A and B are shown apart, each in its own frame.
Chain A
């Protein structure tokens, strides 16, 4: 899933400055799971903003709404069945960057601002802990590396083995973190597949991952 973090409060408060009617729009999927932009986080931000702006004698109406997904037109289109978007000076989106953009596309006459910084594609490790696992590089080599991605898990994205800075299986950037290649080694040993990494991996194909990427399912081409 997409993992995001809320922007610093002062930055959010500064971005809504001058507006009289603000809609804080949450997203009920990834960012709700990672406790950054779901219904609860919308309510917390709304309360914080109301208090802070009141203390500054700013009279701002702040409404809250959370939809299932902001990265899907179907769900964005139902917003107007629940509130009137034109009542607001701006929409503060608590979705990931993709959601903010689709929202801006659909309501292109409205100012849509991000309240989150989108951080990575990752997994839930346990309560409140998420780790990055995928860089969406469009040429997956997880089959070779025992299900551990060196593009993501190695700070240098090295595909031919560890750098010289790793000491005792720890990453040179953070000695509390395992070196991706030490993890790959352990996994491949367990699987009896060390031969997977004895062959030189060719340079990555960045032509397969140019921005902006596009996928059209063959049934819809």
Chain B
């Protein structure tokens, strides 16, 4: 499986298009081809409606780029989730990231009904059960998927023990790779990794290319899950118009340090304001 590599794994995120034009999507996928192990396709991230990740994954996969499909619990009930998972397996999409999903109130359809019929732990269990040839209610499947399951963990939230309990539940439910909330604080992350290393899982911290816009949104509490330490916050602020360049430097420094200290099993890169930023980060980090 693509994430089951022994080497330092680099993945990157590509946002599905808002509309039917897939030109930009395919260009991004091709630009990352050979530079990253796989691209992660989010599922209406931050509650903003975009093209179905199932379709996007198929399109990207057809370009010869490995994909990880995100499945969020916000928009579909257990029937729809299982249907989509079976569909993904039929299309050869086997790496699945199970997440709860940002609340609809953060997105562009605030009036929508937030579903959350199952949570991320139960979604992992559901996918693992499909792997065993049964649906979540024990009905036999004709043909079973072979999903490799990933989930998320927030090493920076408190109370830490609650996050740890949830992490352990996810491991028990079948998650083998964990993506994290954006990492800026290596010391705090190292504390989490000490615990995570006790489990047979890989951890890919998310590396975010910060800009002054992000910093402003963070101050307004509009970036759920972010924890930006004071020194990084200051570096972006003081960079002024060169904020993107500084954001790229910070990201590259983090990756270099993670790789050098073997702190994690790889990194996951978030797209920045500019499409080429991920490639620039990889080049500066020598990853």
Asked if B1 is at the interface of the complex by the 8 Å CB criterion, the answer is no
- When C-beta atoms are compared, the residue in chain B nearest to A163 turns out to be B100
Asked if A162 is at the interface of the complex by the 8 Å CB criterion, the answer is yes
Contact mask for chain B residues 179-198; partner A; CB cutoff 8 A; 1 contact, 0 none: 00100000000000000000
* Contacting pair B157 A158 (CB below 8 A): no
A174 to B112, CA, bound (A): 18
* Contacting pair A203 B225 (CB below 8 A): no
- When C-beta atoms are compared, the residue in chain B nearest to A159 turns out to be B119
CB contacts (< 8 Å) of B114 on chain A: these are: 155-156
Which of B21-29, B161-169, B262-270 has 4 or more CB atoms under 8 Å from chain A? B161-169
Which of A56-64, A95-103, A194-202 has 4 or more CB atoms under 8 Å from chain B? A194-202
CB contacts (< 8 Å) of B102 on chain A: these are: 165, 172
CB contacts (< 8 Å) of B165 on chain A: these are: 161, 197-198
Contact mask for chain B residues 99-131; partner A; CB cutoff 8 A; 1 contact, 0 none: 110110110000000101111111001000000
Asked if B152 is at the interface of the complex by the 8 Å CB criterion, the answer is yes
- When C-beta atoms are compared, the residue in chain A nearest to B136 turns out to be A203
Number of interface residues of B (CB under 8 A): 41
A167 to B163, CA, bound (A): 11
* Contacting pair A160 B119 (CB below 8 A): yes
Asked if B10 is at the interface of the complex by the 8 Å CB criterion, the answer is no
A198 to B171, CA, bound (A): 12
CB contacts (< 8 Å) of B106 on chain A: these are: 172-173
A201 to B158, CA, bound (A): 21
Please judge, given known A-B contacts A164-B100, A197-B165, whether A155 and B227 are in contact too, CB under 8 Å.
Answer: no
Number of interface residues of A (CB under 8 A): 30
- Most chain-B CB neighbours within 10 Å: which of A155, A164, A201? A164
A167 to B227, CA, bound (A): 8
* Contacting pair B100 A182 (CB below 8 A): no
- When C-beta atoms are compared, the residue in chain B nearest to A154 turns out to be B116
Asked if B159 is at the interface of the complex by the 8 Å CB criterion, the answer is yes
Contact mask for chain A residues 179-221; partner B; CB cutoff 8 A; 1 contact, 0 none: 0011001000000001001101111101000000000000000
* Contacting pair A203 B169 (CB below 8 A): no
A160 to B162, CA, bound (A): 10
Asked if B154 is at the interface of the complex by the 8 Å CB criterion, the answer is yes
CB contacts (< 8 Å) of A204 on chain B: these are: 117
* Contacting pair A164 B225 (CB below 8 A): yes
Please judge, given known A-B contacts A158-B119, A164-B152, A172-B225, whether A181 and B162 are in contact too, CB under 8 Å.
Answer: yes
Please judge, given known A-B contacts A155-B105, A173-B105, A204-B117, whether A160 and B224 are in contact too, CB under 8 Å.
Answer: no
Q: Which of A159, A162, A168, A175 contacts B163 (CB 8 A)?
A: A162
A159 to B161, CA, bound (A): 16
Contact mask for chain B residues 73-98; partner A; CB cutoff 8 A; 1 contact, 0 none: 11000100000000000000000000
CB contacts (< 8 Å) of B120 on chain A: these are: 160
Please judge, given known A-B contacts A164-B181, A185-B161, A197-B165, whether A158 and B224 are in contact too, CB under 8 Å.
Answer: no
Asked if B149 is at the interface of the complex by the 8 Å CB criterion, the answer is no
Asked if A28 is at the interface of the complex by the 8 Å CB criterion, the answer is no
- When C-beta atoms are compared, the residue in chain B nearest to A162 turns out to be B162
Please judge, given known A-B contacts A200-B172, A202-B122, whether A169 and B159 are in contact too, CB under 8 Å.
Answer: yes
- When C-beta atoms are compared, the residue in chain A nearest to B118 turns out to be A203
- When C-beta atoms are compared, the residue in chain A nearest to B123 turns out to be A203
Q: How far is the CB of B218 from chain A (nearest CB, A)?
A: 10
Please judge, given known A-B contacts A200-B172, A200-B173, whether A182 and B122 are in contact too, CB under 8 Å.
Answer: no
Please judge, given known A-B contacts A156-B103, A156-B116, A203-B117, whether A164 and B159 are in contact too, CB under 8 Å.
Answer: no
Asked if A157 is at the interface of the complex by the 8 Å CB criterion, the answer is yes
Asked if B9 is at the interface of the complex by the 8 Å CB criterion, the answer is no
* Contacting pair B162 A155 (CB below 8 A): no
CB contacts (< 8 Å) of B157 on chain A: these are: 162, 164, 166-168
* Contacting pair B78 A203 (CB below 8 A): yes
* Contacting pair B159 A161 (CB below 8 A): no
Asked if B153 is at the interface of the complex by the 8 Å CB criterion, the answer is yes
What 10 additional pairs, Cβ within 8 angstroms, besides A159-B119, A161-B162, A165-B154?
Answer: A156-B116, A161-B165, A164-B225, A166-B154, A166-B157, A167-B225, A172-B102, A200-B169, A203-B117, A203-B136
3 closest residue pairs by CB, A with B: A165-B224, A161-B166, A172-B224
Q: Could you tell me which A residues sit within 8 Å of B by CB distance?
A: 155-169, 172-173, 175, 181-182, 185, 194, 197-198, 200-204, 206
Can you give 25 A-B contacts (C-beta < 8 A)?
A: A156-B114, A160-B119, A160-B121, A160-B169, A161-B121, A161-B165, A164-B100, A164-B224, A165-B225, A167-B224, A167-B226, A167-B227, A169-B159, A172-B102, A172-B103, A172-B106, A175-B221, A181-B162, A197-B165, A198-B169, A200-B121, A200-B169, A202-B122, A203-B118, A204-B117
